[in-house]
Amino acid sequence: MVTTIGTEDKLEDLLKDLIQLDHDAIAAYDAAVERIDSASYKTTLSGFCDDHRRHTVELGEHLTRLGKTPPGEGDMKSMLTKGKVVLGALMGDKAILQAMKTNEDDTNTAYERAVGHKDASGDLHATLQRALEDERRHRAWMVETIELL
């Protein structure tokens, strides 16, 4: 799935879309944790899921400051992100991680674009940069772990 998130003109639209993307990621991580066999991977994926939960809270605070209500859930893409994980579970841990990596490809792209948004400055820019660093760490772990399997 190729994302367009991060290309929004209005800052409030960007924040709303990022929050929904993180909610979608949470649903996918929850599905992965339920299905993955390795206890070590479960622990790591649970930690990554917590990062996405933190992103929704932090970005929600910024959106609230703009006078908007943060979304409390993802959008229709959650069926795709979670669905890939559920299908991957039929083939084992490696397939689950491969599905999660494709989801992280999208979150990395979205946050890479978001940190460059013309209206993202100060505290918001720092929040977006921290989230991007989380996303890069998630993806790097998945790439490395998949190569070992």
Helices (H), the chain: 11-35, 39-65, 77-89, 93-114, 122-148
Please report whether residue 3 resides in a domain: no
Q: What is the CATH number of the domain that holds 93?
A: 1.20.1260.10
Query: Is residue 86 very low, low, confident or very high in pLDDT (cuts 50, 70, 90)?
Result: low
Q: How many domains does the chain have?
A: 1
Please report whether residue 5 resides in a domain: no
pTM: 0.91
**pLDDT tens per residue, range 91-111:** 689 989 998 999 999 999 999
Q: Which of 130, 135, 110 is nearest to 21 (CA)?
A: 110
Q: Which domain holds residue 34?
A: 11-148
Please report whether residue 40 resides in a domain: yes
Q: Which residues contact 106 (CB under 8 A, 6 or more apart)?
A: 1, 2, 3, 5, 21
> How far is residue 77's CA from residue 21's CA, in Å, rounded to a whole number?
8
Please report whether residue 79 resides in a domain: yes
Please report whether residue 4 resides in a domain: no
**pLDDT tens per residue, range 126-142:** 999 999 999 999 999 99
Please report whether residue 108 resides in a domain: yes
Please report whether residue 46 resides in a domain: yes
Please report whether residue 97 resides in a domain: yes
The distance between the two most distant Cα atoms of the chain, rounded to a whole number of Å, is 47
